[in-house]
Structure 1
C-alpha cells in the first residue's frame, strides 16, 4: 500500500514540477490516512509529517539514497535513528520520471507503521520527517 501511495505521490510531484511535502491541501500524515493507510491515531494530524521523505533531480536510487543520508532529518527518519521512528516498520518507495518537469526524476519514500501494530510514538510533535 505504501509503495502505491508513494508512486502516486511521485507522479503528482512531477506533474506539479516541484518538491513539497504539502500539496493539494494535504500534509503527508493526512495523505496516508486519506489514502486508506491506517496510521496510528497518536500521529499528529493537520500539517504534520512523520512519514514522508521526498527528493528530486537524482537519476538513480543510489544517488537519491546518498542525498537522503546526507540530510540529518531524512537520515534520522529513514534509518530510525530517533526513538520516534524506531517503531516504523513498513516502507514504500515511489519514483516518477517526467522529462518536461524541472527536476525530471522524483522520489518519494514513506516509512510508517500501521495502527494495529503500533506502539505509541514518542514526542511525535517535535520530530518530523523532512
Structure 2
C-alpha cells in the first residue's frame, strides 16, 4: 500500500490521505501510525480518499476504529471518500458506514467535514 498525505490550506486545515493498493496487516499499521503522528501534531480533520484502494482487510478496519476513537476524544472528524464498490461493500457489511461518514467524492467530504452542522456519525 502507498499513502500520500496532502494538507488543505483552508480555514479548517483538513488533511487528505490517499490510500493506494491493498490495506492489510502491515500496511494498516503504517497508515495508522502516520495518521496518529498527524493527530499528535494537532491535526483534527481528515479525509481518507480511497479511489485507488483495491481492498481493505479487518486490520485496516481496526486502524479506522483506532483513529476514529482518537479523533473523537479531540473533537476531530474523519470521512471516507471515493471508495470503490469492493471497499464500500466491506464498510457496509461491517456497519462501518454507520460509524464513519462516507462520500462519493472528496469535494462532498470536504464540504461536510468543514461544516459546523450536527454530527451524523460516531467518528
TM over 0.5: no
Larger radius of gyration: 1
More relative contact order, 1 or 2 (CA 8 Å, 6+ apart): 1
TM range (shorter): 0.3 to 0.5
Q: TM-score under structure 1 normalisation?
A: 0.34
Q: TM-score under structure 2 normalisation?
A: 0.35
More strand by share: 2
